[in-house]
Amino acid sequence: MNDTGQYQVLARKYRPTDFDSLVGQSALVRTLTNALKIGRIASAFILTGVRGVGKTTTARIIAKALNCQRTDEDGNPPVKPCGVCTHCHSIAGGTHMDVMEMDAASHTGIDDIRDIIDSTQYKPVTARYKVFILDEVHMLSKSAFNALLKILEEPPPHVKFILATTDIDKVPVTVLSRCQRFDLRRLTVQDLIGLYNSIVAKEGFEVSNDAIRTIAVAADGSARDGLSILDQALALTTDRKVDMALVVSMLGLADKQAIYDIFKSLMCGEITAVLGQVNTLYNAGADPVTVLHALMDVNWLLTRYKHTPDILDILSVSEMERTACTHMAPGLDIPILTRTWQVLQKGISECNQTDRPIMALEMVLVRVAYMAHVQSVESLVRSATQQNSGQVTAKPTAAPVSTPQPPVQQPPLQKKHRQKPCQQAKQHPAPQPAVQPQPQKPQPVVQPQPQKPPPINFKDGVQAFKSWAPILGNTMWLGASLVSYTPPQIMLSHAHCIL
């Protein structure tokens, strides 16, 4: 409750009041505290960052530090505002006459800037400085920005400007060059968990660690978003205890254990189990798009774990998630995880564009289950290259040595009758020479077949694929676009993924 007895939301009740209570902005705090100590205070500041990280809060803390009635030993504004003086109290309540806050989203014209310029001519009434806080300054018109340039560059010594924006790219560079810029970073999950635990203890509630972590993750780096979720969770309970089931039911999230079971079934190709688990989540109130986002979170965590195993310690995941990652990651390849990510990402747009999101979700998961076992084009190219170049080469053999032939046996001499010389000459012709053994001709040497060179261009490569895998060759030629061709590697871009 506030001073009037009305309930005050947690985001306003526990808003930081000094630099020490700012969470997750160490660089900004160090720079501003040193500037206040040595008296090097810029005339204009610009604070940028996502929603709920403390831009307006930081602007008010700077205004309180500049105008606090206390001073340090050198007479400079104090590093830590007292928070109890008139100036600190009125600035925190937004009622100080010398600290003017303007919402640039609703005051975008040049006339509003003219009013500010006219008021800078007068010195502050009670405070040390006249401070102008312009929130959402990127919403100003072009003429309004141009009107600010001169007063930002050469303001009176008693005037300070503090600009805040969530879209720094829309602020002209001429304005940025006249300001001291501070980028407020997104709060980490650990920072948010510590902040929420301290607030829960002050409120007298008991919130489980898993519930606090779920709220911190859902906050997406914004302290205010997480405090709004925490405020809603505390309002739901009647016994001042908040558990994981209550937060999951309130946010419409899917159960973590069920999501990991679905992802495991997808990678194993168990479509029947996947569809049954999805229907159970849908009947329990889970949104199909939320289920896809949860599956993408698991896919991302497994991919990061394969490259940086210490990510589990950095994110402080639960024991269930740690066990699931360590068991599933070794059996999954990076190409499978990247293709799964692309299909799930495309499935989100499909679910958002149809009036039957549960059917779209089921079709997306069926596609993922079948795709998880499809052999990649890289492995197909590698196997094709090995098939073309892996033929067994015959070893050359030495010329055969001719074996000596046995000598030709002469027929035995028959007993001859004595004949007349003329008859002997007629019956016995001249003796023939002995038959010499002919050497055996050597067998021809088997020459190795020359290796086929790889195709020199993509068209020849497709023809080579068509010769032994017509379906794959036609798919490469008709259904994919060439990204790079460096044999033996071919990178193709398909309608749903890069192969």
Per-residue model confidence as pLDDT tens digits over 264-298: 999 988 899 999 999 998 888 888 998 999 999 99
Per-residue model confidence as pLDDT tens digits over 326-352: 999 988 888 889 999 999 999 999 999
Mean residue pLDDT of the chain comes to 81
pLDDT confidence of 399, banded at 50, 70, 90? very low
**Contact indicator for 63, 90 with CB cutoff of 8 Å:** no
pTM over 0.85: no
Amino acid at 238: T
**Contact indicator for 383, 475 with CB cutoff of 8 Å:** no
CA atoms within 13 A on the CB side of 215: 33
284-294 b/e (C-beta count within 10 Å ≥ 16 → b): eebbbbbbbbb
pLDDT reading at 400 higher than 50: no
Residue with more model confidence, 11 or 387: 11
- Least confident range from 100-109, 168-177, 191-200, 441-450: namely 441-450
**Contact indicator for 295, 324 with CB cutoff of 8 Å:** no
Report how far residue 242's alpha carbon sits from residue 274's, in angstroms, rounded to the nearest whole number: 30
Range list of H helices, 107-157? 110-119, 142-153
Q: What was the pLDDT predicted at 396?
A: 45
Mean pLDDT over residues 45-73, rounded? Answer: 88
Residue with more model confidence, 348 or 433: 348
